[in-house]
Amino acid sequence: MNEYEDEFVLMDYLNVLWKRKWLIIIPTFVLVVAVGVYSFFLPRVWEVDAIIVPSKFLVQTEAGQFNEIVVVDPRQIAGQINQGFHNHLIATQLNLDIREFPKLKAENLRDTNLVRVSTKEKDTEKAKLILFSLFNHLKRQLDEKVDIEIKGIDSDIKSKKIEMLRIEGEIKGNKNKLNIVKQRKKDIKRELNDIGKRIEALEKEQRLSLKRENRNESESLAMLLYSNEIQQSLRYFNTLNELLSNKKIEEENINLEIENKEKIINQLENKIDNLNESKGRIDYTQLIKEPTSSLYPISPKKKLNVLIAGILGLMAFTMLAFFLEYLEKQKTKSN
């Protein structure tokens, strides 16, 4: 029984649609044509966009690695553009009415430092000029911070070079001292050699005198003198030996000091190289995609407008047909 009732209700709906088909079709057709004509005469709007990469520099970590840092967070730049932070400056520069200034839309492209800026405008050349002006304002603002960073790096390099010159001067002084110590060592060795030979000669003469059995008083006195002179020469020899040892220690200390200062210079040179590398990898704000208009207008979307008008027309006039049918049935029942 329910199946027959459902079929009966469905047939009623179809009968209503067939009965009032022209009430649905003709107004819908008129609406579609009207929307199509209206869309055809609407001015065409294009989307013009550009991609900007903010200024960036390198920061060295404690581990000695370099991390790339942008001077301003791209999301912050996009937020300022969306809030119209630069609109008045651009309008003034291009002599535009701020009340008719197009809306600028910016976004930070995902997982990048890139900022995409776009606007919708009927005049593509005007839109391009606006985006170029925006880029110039951003570049001037962001590059100032890069210039400060570069000046800081240059100052650091200069101070390290001055430190290197000071240490190189100390090394030069140490090398002069080292040459003096080496020359003094040679003199001491030569003197030691002479004293050694003198001692050998005195000991030889002393031995010859000792071999004589009958010695007179003068020969005995000579032996005593030989003995005293040998003792004095030995003491002087020992003194020279001690002095030579001190000079060797002094030489080693000077060499060690020179070596330490040369290591410091190497460290400073490495730091200067790192600073130069960091400076060389600083990038100013760039426009990696110049303002470019879309291939086709983004509005009016004629086909979409016609399709929506057709769907809405069918729905509205179908409801109207059922409503008129309802009124007619109520009128028949009342009669």
pLDDT at 66: 62
Q: What are phi and psi of 301, to 5 degrees?
A: -90, 90
pLDDT interval class at 257 (50, 70, 90): very high
Residue 127: alpha-carbon gap to chain centroid: 31
Specify the residue for token string 């790339």: 68
pLDDT tops 80 at residue 250: yes
pLDDT tops 50 at residue 8: no
pLDDT at 59: 65
pLDDT at 5: 46
Q: Is the bond preceding residue 54 a cis peptide, omega within 30 degrees?
A: no
Determine the average pLDDT of the residues in 233-245.
Answer: 86
What's the pLDDT tens digit per position in 22-65? Answer: 888 888 888 888 888 887 777 888 899 999 999 887 666 666 56
pLDDT at 6: 47
pLDDT tops 70 at residue 264: yes
**Residue-averaged pLDDT of the chain:** 84
pLDDT tops 70 at residue 7: no
| Comparison of pLDDT for 282 and 205, the residue scoring more | 282
Rg of the chain in Å (alpha carbons): 51
**Is domain 46-148+285-293 classified as CATH 3.30.70?**
yes
Residue 163: alpha-carbon gap to chain centroid: 28
Determine the average pLDDT of the residues in 256-271.
Answer: 93
Determine the average pLDDT of the residues in 4-27.
Answer: 73
Q: What does the domain layout of the chain look like in residue ranges? A: 2-42+310-318, 46-148+285-293, 157-280
For 68-82, the DSSP string reads EEESS-HHHHHHHHH
